[in-house]
Structure 1
């Protein structure tokens, strides 16, 4: 995993007030350029309504430069105006909906290529909720339901946006019974770490490596790097899979997971002083 300057902020869906406030807290300048992309929403009119709602939410928190761009069947990604705006964006925010739509309209575009480069090289925030979170990694899960997802052929993946590699991010994790499909995905691709985000739960990924948590509950980490036995690839279609030594971690606020080292650890705190008063800040 290469060192990157940008941050990824992903939410598992549900109430996203906390996500909007977190993004606002991460940008010091209220004039920062925020671009909302609602491509994941199937109907064009609904996508515009969703984008406008997020624009208003950011503006209510004092952000003065919030825009949205339509990218869909009738609006191509690589318009000169879109490219110009993405080149100066400080925050790029993907709404929820259908991650396959995001992949369909953005994968292979110059616009996404610029986003990927800027994430590596610039101090930029890439954020999303639900589908907008699931699409962030190099591979994404788009199908698999309940216990059926532990049957060969029932869990399906495809190419994501590739801001980060060797990670699967799954959303609505507890609410829609998605443990099985995330476990299946990482067992099939043991180089990948699985991150399960329930609703109102989110992560910040710093330097392309350090996964920290925000929200009131638990983020699930599934690590297949030490599997001893697996029938995932050898199983026939419609057969259940078998895996030995799949490791799971439960991550809450105040702890992080380092992807490169497969390391669970507390977030260190250090004292800082504001107007002469000691306050705690995260390292």
Structure 2
């Protein structure tokens, strides 16, 4: 399997000062080209204000080449200037808002193709908060609230940006009671692993596989690969779902989850393999 060279940095929403500082710490050159994209913000004036605020936040940390581009109803993604800029960006940052807007304006575009190719082949950072985090995977959740999300038909998904595949990333996870919809999503698509991000807490995904946590909160992993019984697909519309043996992990800073091998382990080290599985050593 080809190793992905880029990094994904995703925050669950809320105060994003820690995210901005983390991105800055990952940049070796203060002249690195940073592009801020606020397409997820519905109102154009608010999108400009949001992008400008992030631009200033990066500049306050010493970054000297920060720009934002408008992609919305009046500004298409595949303008030659946009394609040229995204082809040389070192960091691409997606703000929060509505992830469906991001999919609407960027899916099936040359702009997204360039980002996907560069993420796989180059040492770039693609980052985002809230909607900008949820859109990173091949499938994304865009609807489902509270206990209703465990009813067939109440949880809805669509295509994301496919920087990483076989993953669902959900945000504002603990604060907005989104366990049900993430569990429903992975039970429906058991090849996918669910990653729930609490606010002010996020993940760095390295090599397209290693999910490391940053921030003060908890990242929830939901894995349906060991499900023994599922009534998700057979349930009728408006009926509750039933699933046996969903596996859940709670990660905090200092720990990671390896997607390919379904392994939970400390970032620093792991114990020798036991029956082919790494055993986490807790301090």
User: TM-score normalized by structure 2?
Assistant: 0.94
Structure 2, gaps ≥5 residues long: 270-283
Tell me what 1:145 maps to.
145
Tell me what 2:135 maps to.
135
Tell me what 1:259 maps to.
259
C-alpha distance in structure 2 between counterparts of 1:121 and 1:2, whole Å: 10
Mapped contact 1:2–1:208 kept (Cα < 8 A): no
- The alignment of Structure 1 onto Structure 2 pairs a total of residues equal to 269
Structure 1, gaps ≥5 residues long: 270-283
Tell me what 1:210 maps to.
210
Tell me what 1:106 maps to.
106
CA drift at 1:225: 0.3
CA drift at 1:23: 0.1
C-alpha distance in structure 1 between counterparts of 2:20 and 2:69, whole Å: 18
CA drift at 1:66: 0.2
How large is the RMSD of aligned CA atoms in angstroms?
A: 0.7
Change (3 A) 1:101 1:202: same
CA drift at 1:3: 1.9
C-alpha distance in structure 1 between counterparts of 2:223 and 2:18, whole Å: 28
CA drift at 1:2: 4.5
Tell me what 2:57 maps to.
57
CA drift at 1:217: 1.4
Query: Where has structure 1 moved over 3 Å in runs of 4 or more?
Result: none
Tell me what 2:193 maps to.
193
Higher strand share: 1
Mapped contact 1:197–1:220 kept (Cα < 8 A): yes
Mapped contact 2:199–2:217 kept (Cα < 8 A): no
C-alpha distance in structure 1 between counterparts of 2:19 and 2:153, whole Å: 34
C-alpha distance in structure 2 between counterparts of 1:253 and 1:268, whole Å: 11
C-alpha distance in structure 2 between counterparts of 1:149 and 1:114, whole Å: 35
Tell me what 2:239 maps to.
239
